[in-house]
Amino acid sequence: MIVCVAVVGHQNNPLYIQSFTEADDALKLHHIVHCSLDVVDERAPLLSITVNNPKKSSPTLNETFLGLLYPTENYKVYGYLTNTKVKLILVTTDLDVRDADVRNFFRKFHAAYVDAVSNPFHVPGKKITSRTFAERVSTIVKSFGLSSAS
Amino acid sequence: MMMMDPANSTLGRMLLDEITPVVMVLRTHLVEESSQKNQLSFIQLLSPFCNFNNIDVPVRTASDQPYRLKKFKLRLLYASDIRQPNIEVAKERLNQVITDTGEEDLSNLCSEPLQIEIVLNSSQNEFLPSWFQYFNKELVRTVSFSEHEAFDHPVTCLLAVSSWDEDPINKFVDLFNTNQLPSLLNDGAMDPKILKHFVLVHDGEEVPIERATKTLAEMRSTFGANCCHLLCINSSKDGSEEHENLWAAYKTDISHGQQLRCFLSSDDLDELKKFVQDLSSKHIIPHMEQTIRLLNQQVSATRKGFRNQIKNLWWRKGKDDGPENSAGPTYTFSSIESQIRVLGDYAFMLHDYELALSNYRLLSTDYKLDKAWKHYAGVQEMMGLTYFMLDQSRKDGEYCMENAFTTYLKIGSSGQRNVTRCGLWWVEMLKARDQYKEAASVYFRISGEEPLHSAVMLEQASYCYLFSTPPMLRKYGFHLVLSGDLYKKCDQIKHAIRTYKGALSVFKGTTWRHIRDHVHFHIGKWYGFLGIFDVAIKNMLEVLACGHQSKTTQELFLKDFLQIIQQTGRTYEVPKLQLPVINIPSVKVVYEDHRTYASQAAIHVKESLWRSLEEDMIPTLSSKSNWLELQSKILPKKFKESNICVAGEAIGISIEFKNPLQIPVSVSGVSLICEHSPVVSEPNANNSIGDQNGETSNKSATSGNSTSDTSLFTLSEADVALAEGETVLVQLTVTPIAEGTLKIVGIRWKLSGSLAGFCTFDSDLVRKKVVKGNRKAKRSTIDNLKFLVIKSLPKLEGFIHHLPETVYVGDLRYIALELKNPSKSPVKKLKMKVSPPRFLQIGHKEDLEVQFPACLERTSTRQSSLRSKTDKVSDDIFLFPEDTTIADGAPISWPLWLRAAAPGKISLHLSVYYEMGDISSVMTYRTLRLHFNIEVLPSLDVSFQINPRPSRLREFLVRMDVVNRSSSKGFQVHQLSSVGNEWEISLLEPTKVLPSDFLLAGQAISWFLKLKNCRSVTDQDSVSSLCPPEKAYVNLLRGSEMLFDLHSSPLSEFHHYERVHQRISEKEHEDTVDFILVSRSQSEENKCEFFFSHHICHSRQGTSSPIWWIMDGSRTVKHDFKEPFCVITLRMIVHNSSDDVVSVHCNPSDSAVNISSSGNVSAASGNEIGWHDFSLSNDIKITSDAPGPRVVKPMSSDTVLPFIWSASSSTHFTLEPLSSRETPMEICVFSPGTFDLSNYSLNWSISSPSDKWDNGDESRASSGTCQGHPFYTTVLQQD
């Protein structure tokens, strides 16, 4: 089950963070997402080397998926880095998650984010308050659970 | 990777310290007593000499490779200590360690959290708390002397007997009494046949040396010569020897400053040293070497080689069938596994790591096969350490540690402490190789169920994240927070604060508000527990304005915060308090200089509106200069830059308070902070404002303290209760009392009664809305809050009495303006102006006494309509009588008339200008501005329709439609008047009045009236000045004879403005008519009668022809047609109603004659009731220019004309303006019948256009043709 998704701006400021648990663990999830940024920071340069290396004209050219960032006891944290250095973070409790599922999730999540910030009333760098975005994300989150189950 | 010497790493040193041969010490209590003379235990006495940095003993490996042992250490332990430590005691001790170090930190506790840059740049050693090392060591020691490891097993037993003891030989034997030996030796975990060394401790002070030597000889003969030794101590008699530095490291229970009484002479020390060295190099090391050799041979014999391995495997496989023992098999000292372990550990202790490793490897497979997991893990652990000491095959080393770690974990709770030790070693191993990140995760894994230990481990983990490259600051912070939470759980608040403070340096200024708030809140709360309130409050303040948090969190934050505040027991002053949020750009300043305001409402009216109103009243404004320039002669130049206010008059500040929380907040005692400085006496023009500030600041009185100097100014206080998310505009005032300079510095308030917050208006932030004045745009904003206080001036106060809030359209009211000047100093030269004049008129002084509306009633004696506007300068500005002065609080009243001209919300403005009686004052004049709002509701809607009445000259039929548009109110329609004396109005049917007295809401009614124009040349210039004829009034109310004089003041004035307002075009037609409908109503409550007037101006009839005519003659003529024809003479009266000379040509036509025997021509022009054109009636119709609906049908040509116009009928004449002329007409009739004499036309043209004509009213033609009116005449045969 996905417990939390987050959008983090290029200055590592939280733009959107939403937990999908009943429990009051917002703070914990904030911390987990926040900590995962350390790993993103660590991996991002590696990623850009791969991207900028012309010799490796492999499928990794457009790779924005950072993979598993941060395995804790209870959670797995996955990351995704957009071209504008916005980080998308996923925290899940599922122990065996297929990479393809996560990639798929992030692709949809990214699309939703792009649509949300394309809103002319959205101020770049400010928190995403769009209700439509929230609804869409929660739909994606729900579908993630379904697709991995099937 | 950089090269490193394992022995010099932290772990290496730790291992060389901890994994060393153990010497079990057994002593009699007399030995202990002797050494206690030096305040040292026996072990402590020897300890300084047990650590050899360069012992330089030649050793041979098992394969006869010689090497020299450099670093060596012995661990001396009493037999009673050689056992597994009591867990509870150990735990207690560890907790004590933590608590103690927590106390030490107290001085740092309140310091600011470090900047993260500083943290990053500081080296590991200076940053890490030093007690971590000690704590870790203690933690490792909790699992010493376990049976599955051999390095804690004593190698040698040292038996010490004092020379004082009776029968020392027996004492030696008794000492090594197996019952008191450690369980390790007794339960078979290790070989009880241990190397023994016998020492006779000789206390030189007490016993003669002879006895000692004698005993020694006895010992030698009993136990063997080699293993006996005589140790002389306490040979110094006076006890003044000083050797403190030697023991400093070993004595933890004595503070450093304390002087030791020492009876040890330097000879004694030498002897001690030599003794221990001999013990090591001549006994222990050779013994160990020998044991290694022996064991190695055994192991080689039984286990090395292919054959042995096969055999071993086979044998072990067989053991598998036995019942599974959860603790694994037990190994006695004689078992080959134990021996291998001893061999490995001895080799390790003698730094022969290759040998150790090979044996550990051998052993680990055995243990694994035996499923002796604890043993296996222990061996794996040692393998890892051996790899580390060899500094080779790091992967293997880590693998072994990992293996050991997980295996210990696997065996459950009994292995927990082993897990910890193994983890700590592993961490050190990783740290030595700069693998901090991995080390951190190992620390994280160590943290088990014990919260306090976990806390320490997590804290250490966080530092690992900090020191990793690149530093992982977020994880650093997170782990510190986790650790802090655990510390808090164990009541180690100081440690908790320390960790959170570390976290703060990471989270400071982060946009992750949840995290930041959490840290600030908890750290604040904990400081509160410790009673360090100022720091607590400082941290709590950071989270107060937490609008993003949930409601419960906000409540919690606020509650705890207020609790801390209460604990301080005093009101706490906080600059820049975040709660409530002060919207500084919203600050509006209202003050009165020469402009004074009667009410708040007047302040909010745009300055431009006032200025346009006052334009003509204030002489300086009209001359295109501002008031400052006028008064600059009086005011020093520098004052020009400041705002001016008058002493005793309040300066108002309105400011927005916003509650960002979802919970209500109460704010009390809101007031301004002001600075007052007295007037600088010398008017130095060069003295800039900045200098003035600096000079006077010392003398200035600031109201920042709660006690403000009330002799200089007084402040108002306000209490505000802010609901969730509410924004409240707070009005505050400061009233300067003394002259000087007043500066508004800031604002201060009290939150929930206990926390005082204040906020200064930073000059950059204040964007004061300029409420008034000709302000230069370049002016710096800070000056806007600075006021020059001038001497007290008289100030008029104005009220309006009887001002209704809502009125109905047309309502005419009397209201009174009352002006009051509370001060002694008089004011004079009052002028007043009102706006809009359509709604508000200034009355006359006499109006004060009159009764309204009775005053408007027409009386025969009253000639008031002739009253001229003598006391008005112009239409706009009203001058009070010259002798009007106001002083001493005596009010004067002046009447005003209010008439609600149009529905809607109406703003009324009044401005009163007055001059100071006292010429010497700084300001010569002031203005009082009054502003009121009234709401006007719709009432009667009156419309008129006017049609000419064809049967009469210059008469009209008027239909008046009255609709009551109000929602509930009923009106009594009283009277209709036409304005001006050229009109006469009367009811068409005099009996037609309202069915009921009141026109109810929504009801409509129509009246039909006759209107007659009686304008003549003589009276056209003085329309309003003459007494109107009686006929201009129609009483519409049944049974009432009372009429109102509508030409009296103030109705005539209102009518004037109403006319101006309703003017349709520039050009005014002469033939328009104004009506005034008067209605009345009674209010339900007080039976008060209201008077309404409805003005409908510029009503027109629908014609543009200037001429009126009427045919007159006998209708019935009897004629004997024996005569050839009958001549009928008719008259036509033509009237010119225009102001121009009109030439008229009457043109009878014979071609078209409408004959009808029945005479019934039906040509209704409209079908409205009452507007039927009754065709056979005698009415004639005025025709329009274009052929109207009534078209005269041409007769067919073959019909014989029944009559002809006689020649004289065709005439041409001119008409003077407003004159009539009668012209005769004649027809000849040839047969009896009824004839329509409308077959003529009148051609008219304007012959002398006047000036007005040139101005061009295109709608009026200069000439036209009118068809004749129908006129029927009947000719009868005369009998």
pLDDT in tens, B708-739: 456 778 888 888 888 887 888 888 888 888 88
The full length of chain B comes to 1279
For the segment B34-43, the average pLDDT, to the nearest whole number, is 80
Q: pLDDT tens, position by position, for chain A (150 residues)?
A: 888 899 998 888 888 988 888 877 788 888 888 888 888 888 776 665 544 444 444 444 456 777 777 776 678 888 888 888 888 998 888 877 788 888 888 989 999 999 999 988 888 888 888 889 999 998 988 888 665 444
Grade residue B511 by pLDDT with cuts at 50, 70 and 90: confident
Q: What is the CA radius of gyration of chain A?
A: 15
| pLDDT value of position B933 | 86
- Interchain CB distance below 8 Å, B475 and A35: yes
**Interface with A, mutate which of B437, B446, B469, B475 (most A CBs under 10 A):** B475
The minimal CB distance from A14 to the residues B474, B478, B512 is found for B512
pLDDT of residue B1159 exceeding 80, the answer is no
> Token pair for residue B772?
């008034």
Q: What is the CA radius of gyration of chain B?
A: 61
pLDDT of residue B556 exceeding 80, the answer is yes
Instruction: List Cβ neighbours of B897 (8 Å cut-off, separation of 6 or more).
Output: B812, B813, B814, B815, B840, B841, B842, B843, B847, B1050, B1053, B1054
Sheet holding B1233-1236, edge to edge: B1116-1119, B1272-1277, B1233-1236, B1154-1155
For the segment B385-391, the average pLDDT, to the nearest whole number, is 86
| pLDDT value of position B990 | 60
The 3-class SS string of B479-515 reads HHHHHHHHHHHCCCHHHHHHHHHHHHHHHCCCCCHHH
- B438 or B1125, greater pLDDT: B438
| B1206 bridge partner residues | none
**Which residues from B are below 8 Å from A27, CB to CB?**
514-515, 518
Q: Which of B353, B453, B341 is nearest to B393 (CA)?
A: B353
| pLDDT value of position B1084 | 63
| pLDDT value of position B240 | 61
The minimal CB distance from B518 to the residues A27, A39, A42 is found for A27
**Which residues from A are below 8 Å from B554, CB to CB?**
none
Any idea what the Cα angle at residue B727 is, between residues B724 and B733, rounded to 5°?
A: 130
| B828 bridge partner residues | B915
- Interchain CB distance below 8 Å, B472 and A42: yes
- Interchain CB distance below 8 Å, A14 and B511: yes
pLDDT in tens, B167-198: 878 888 887 776 667 777 777 677 777 888 88
Closest residue in A to B475 (Cα) is A35
**Which residues from B are below 8 Å from A13, CB to CB?**
511-512
**Which residues from B are below 8 Å from A73, CB to CB?**
none
From residue B710, how far is each of B674, B676, B715 by CA, in Å? Answer: 12, 11, 8
For the segment B295-311, the average pLDDT, to the nearest whole number, is 78
Grade residue B527 by pLDDT with cuts at 50, 70 and 90: confident
- Interchain CB distance below 8 Å, A37 and B474: yes
pLDDT of residue B466 exceeding 70, the answer is yes
Any idea what the Cα angle at residue B386 is, between residues B381 and B390, rounded to 5°?
A: 150
ipTM: 0.88
- Interchain CB distance below 8 Å, B515 and A13: no
**Interface with A, mutate which of B467, B478, B553 (most A CBs under 10 A):** B478
Average pLDDT in chain B: 74
Separation CA B964–CA B962 (nearest Å) = 7
**Which residues from A are below 8 Å from B480, CB to CB?**
none
- Interchain CB distance below 8 Å, B512 and A38: no
Instruction: List Cβ neighbours of B1132 (8 Å cut-off, separation of 6 or more).
Output: B1109, B1110, B1111, B1112, B1146, B1222, B1223, B1224, B1225
- Interchain CB distance below 8 Å, B514 and A13: no
| pLDDT value of position B642 | 65
- Interchain CB distance below 8 Å, A26 and B472: no
**Which residues from A are below 8 Å from B454, CB to CB?**
none
- Interchain CB distance below 8 Å, B511 and A13: yes
Least confident residue range of A70-79, B611-620, B1010-1019: B1010-1019
| pLDDT value of position A135 | 92
For the segment B590-598, the average pLDDT, to the nearest whole number, is 77
- Interchain CB distance below 8 Å, B478 and A35: yes
pLDDT of residue B1030 exceeding 80, the answer is no
- Count CB pairs under 8 A between chains A and B: 35
Distance from CA of B424 to the nearest CA of A (A): 20
| pLDDT value of position B389 | 86
Grade residue B553 by pLDDT with cuts at 50, 70 and 90: confident
**Which residues from B are below 8 Å from A39, CB to CB?**
472
B→A interface, C-beta within 8 Å: 465, 470, 472-475, 477-478, 481, 511-512, 514-515, 518
| pLDDT value of position B998 | 74
> Token pair for residue B249?
């490291």
For the segment B1172-1195, the average pLDDT, to the nearest whole number, is 41
| pLDDT value of position B457 | 87
From residue B629, how far is each of B626, B637, B688, B923 by CA, in Å? Answer: 6, 10, 19, 12
| pLDDT value of position B243 | 60
Grade residue B769 by pLDDT with cuts at 50, 70 and 90: very low
**Which residues from B are below 8 Å from A31, CB to CB?**
478, 481, 515
| pLDDT value of position B105 | 64
CB B1105 within 8 A of CB B1132: no
Distance from CA of B476 to the nearest CA of A (A): 9
Give phi and psi for B141, each to the nearest 5: -70, -20
| pLDDT value of position A7 | 92
- Interchain CB distance below 8 Å, B474 and A38: yes
pLDDT in tens, B798-818: 888 878 888 888 888 888 888
**Which residues from B are below 8 Å from A35, CB to CB?**
472, 474-475, 478
A→B interface, C-beta within 8 Å: 11-14, 26-27, 30-31, 34-35, 37-39, 41-42
Least confident residue range of B7-11, B72-76, B154-158: B7-11
Instruction: List Cβ neighbours of B740 (8 Å cut-off, separation of 6 or more).
Output: B676, B677, B678, B679, B712, B789
Q: Which H or E element spans position B1052?
A: helix B1051-1062
Which one-letter amino acid corresponds to residue B424?
L
| pLDDT value of position B622 | 40
Sheet holding B955-964, edge to edge: B940-948, B955-964, B1004-1013, B983-987
Q: How many CA atoms lie within 13 A of B680 on its CB side?
A: 21
Distance of CA B957 to the CA centre of its chain: 68
- Interchain CB distance below 8 Å, A30 and B474: no
Separation CA B892–CA B821 (nearest Å) = 9
Distance from CA of B460 to the nearest CA of A (A): 17
- Interchain CB distance below 8 Å, A31 and B515: yes
Give phi and psi for A58, each to the nearest 5: -95, 180
pLDDT of residue B873 exceeding 50, the answer is no
Grade residue B1158 by pLDDT with cuts at 50, 70 and 90: very low
Distance of CA B747 to the CA centre of its chain: 17
Q: Which residues of B122-157 are buried (b: 16+ CB within 10 A; e: fewer)?
A: eeeeebbbebeeebbebbbbbbbbbbbbbbbbbbbb
**Which residues from A are below 8 Å from B514, CB to CB?**
26-27, 30
Which long-range CB contacts under 8 A does B752-756 form with residues at least 24 apart? B752/B558, B752/B562, B752/B565, B752/B665, B752/B666, B753/B666, B753/B668, B754/B562, B754/B565, B754/B566, B754/B571, B754/B572, B755/B561, B755/B562, B755/B565, B755/B571, B755/B572, B755/B574, B755/B577, B756/B571, B756/B572, B756/B573, B756/B574
pLDDT of residue B43 exceeding 60, the answer is yes
- Interchain CB distance below 8 Å, A27 and B514: yes
Q: Which of B874, B893, B890 is nearest to B833 (CA)?
A: B874
| pLDDT value of position B1181 | 42
Place of tokens 């109503």: B1081
> Token pair for residue B454?
């976990």
Distance from CA of A115 to the nearest CA of B (A): 24
Separation CA B1129–CA B909 (nearest Å) = 68
DSSP state of B279: I
Separation CA B278–CA B686 (nearest Å) = 96
Distance from CA of A13 to the nearest CA of B (A): 5
- Interchain CB distance below 8 Å, B470 and A42: yes
Strand-strand pairing, B643-646 and B786-790: parallel
Least confident residue range of B276-285, B830-839, B1081-1090: B1081-1090
- Interchain CB distance below 8 Å, B478 and A27: no
Separation CA B58–CA B69 (nearest Å) = 6
Closest residue in A to B470 (Cα) is A42
- Interchain CB distance below 8 Å, B473 and A34: no
Distance of CA B498 to the CA centre of its chain: 32
CB B1274 within 8 A of CB B1126: no
| pLDDT value of position B1194 | 43
pLDDT in tens, B1051-1060: 777 888 887 7
Closest residue in B to A32 (Cα) is B478
Strand-strand pairing, B1089-1100 and B701-702: unpaired
- B82 or B874, greater pLDDT: B82
Give phi and psi for B830, each to the nearest 5: -80, 140
**Which residues from A are below 8 Å from B511, CB to CB?**
11-14
Crossing angle for the helix pair B131-141 and B87-104, to the nearest 10 degrees: 180
Cis preceding linkage at B836, omega within 30: yes
- Interchain CB distance below 8 Å, B515 and A26: no
**Interface with A, mutate which of B474, B478, B522 (most A CBs under 10 A):** B474
pLDDT of residue B95 exceeding 50, the answer is yes
The minimal CB distance from B481 to the residues A12, A31, A42 is found for A31
